[in-house]
Structure 1
């Protein structure tokens, strides 16, 4: 397989040296069609490889929390794209032969395959195997003309073509299946932008959408004739207001032994003089004006820092890594310290480098911040955790993973 892929890669690379400008229009269109077919076939091979790696547990064996996270680092994908890749790969085992042939032949893409598989499953449950076989042929032909979104829309009436005698009854079943998919596909993705802002994307089910509208609609109404905000800006401010209201209650669950809270670090002198910027526990920065505004309704806790910015004293509790000691740990590690993990502090636990039961003390020098997955992984695995010469955690991989056992660090939480 590797030899064949290397030959294909070399052949594709040679296409860059071809003078496309010299080709006539007919040849350019034919080349575009061939490129697209090749792209679809490569996508099928890629899914096959992902399915095998996922099934063998390669990702978790190498310390990743999931195959999607491992693919994100290995292939430098967005975590959403990596997750969709794993989900699509999992459908390969359930594809009917006709659909699999269309995918490997390059006549349909992976998104169309997902639509076809789901539609055929509904037809099979409603009208039986014979109608499902007919539906495969019809849908594959439609896929040559229509994209995945239109193919899904056409598929809602597929029984009119393959089993008209049960089409009306099946329409209700299709609606129930649609509701089931809506529940399965619900999600919200929070993507950090290079400048520290967040992009929110997602799909809410009907109930969650109604709750969101009920919460933000009253807060996003125009504030009067002098309100120059756009509708999108008003909705943004309404979401922020809802979060502020939620944080003022005692109904939110605790994180790491502390109440849900917004933690900002700044110098005391700079705060009083309205000059210094503030730093959130996730590493993002706030202007002095924003820090002063938030400080009006906040508890201010002093922390003594060393010359390298290491937290030296925020008051320590002896048994559990909570309270002031946890805040010091967050200041230092910024999130899960395991290499390659981007989980924020609120998802993390304090881990004793030398276990408490083995005589390890509860101190900053004997603690590291780990998410739940990597906390369990470190406890049951062969990784060695230690603090480097600069006081920051580093992880020595097992020899089977890295024979040289070079220490690794997490670079996701590094601040500029």
Structure 2
């Protein structure tokens, strides 16, 4: 019988073989990529072993055992303290190991028989080294929070889908997917959640001992969306100016994004306080909320605000549609010409809205639409047309990455329902296997 640790041993053995003979500095790029991949695999498999051990340590340290608790016999107050001490981590991280282990281990019934784990799909992915501890804990917490409002079969399907989607994405992107999943699984829970978020909205302003003014705020998605939209647009415009100055040879070192965010807020307040002139419209500064026409008419489903991860209820979509400065993008309407061929060089606002609905943001990294521009896939100077199937949303970083390093983009299908693919260069993937664009990687792909 193979040891449960055999996959971990194999991964460490492969890592040992791939590791350069000398220092990592100056390592061949191809080897460095492979070492990094194997490190990730070994780390996830080590997580798989750790969550099993943590769950059993917690079981043997449960409070009802009193002085016979394993943790207390080892000189620790609780299992979490024992694990944190021996693993060199925080109590919170140790508790997360216990949480994942408890949720993915077979359950022991009072009869002495074993029952399936509460979250078998997550457990299988963790054991196989496809999913790490943090991602597993995030999925488990979402599903458990919905267990009293969503049928078991729907949660089981969601667990399987989320486990598949979580592989290969960072926890920030996974959080976005989970917000979309929660809205789909429990749309009736959106309005109470929105009320709670509105109640928590606030901004504190104070001065510290050095004289600095400290702002600390939290905003619900609807009222926070204009703040995000305007500041993002101003920062994006400033980054463009800095890049142009640098190209001309007279640029200064780039400022960090937090500094640019602060300067944008200062500019907005200075304008409101003393300027009699109205700022010119900023590209990307409009708040757009997107919703299916059928959902809007039926009062079901959810809407999505550009640049905001949290979906909103249909009731909120209707309220936003009546507000100034908000454009409702109702899908299913076809009132504007969206393909221009060679008649226009630059994509129109209507085209950008349509391409944004298809792409959702930067097709490379998923940056919000306000930080992106529509770029011709076949350049205008090379005969490219200003049509939907020749345009894609890209932030500046991904635009340069794609054009400078040999990536291609492919669009399959018509209009806003087409699929967008990124095709890597041969030095990244010799087979040049198409990869789905960011929207398909970041959205929750529930069954129809």
Q: TM-score, normalised by structure 1?
A: 0.43
Larger radius of gyration: 1
Structure with more relative contact order (C-alpha pairs < 8 Å, separation 6 or more)? 2
Q: TM-score, normalised by structure 2?
A: 0.40
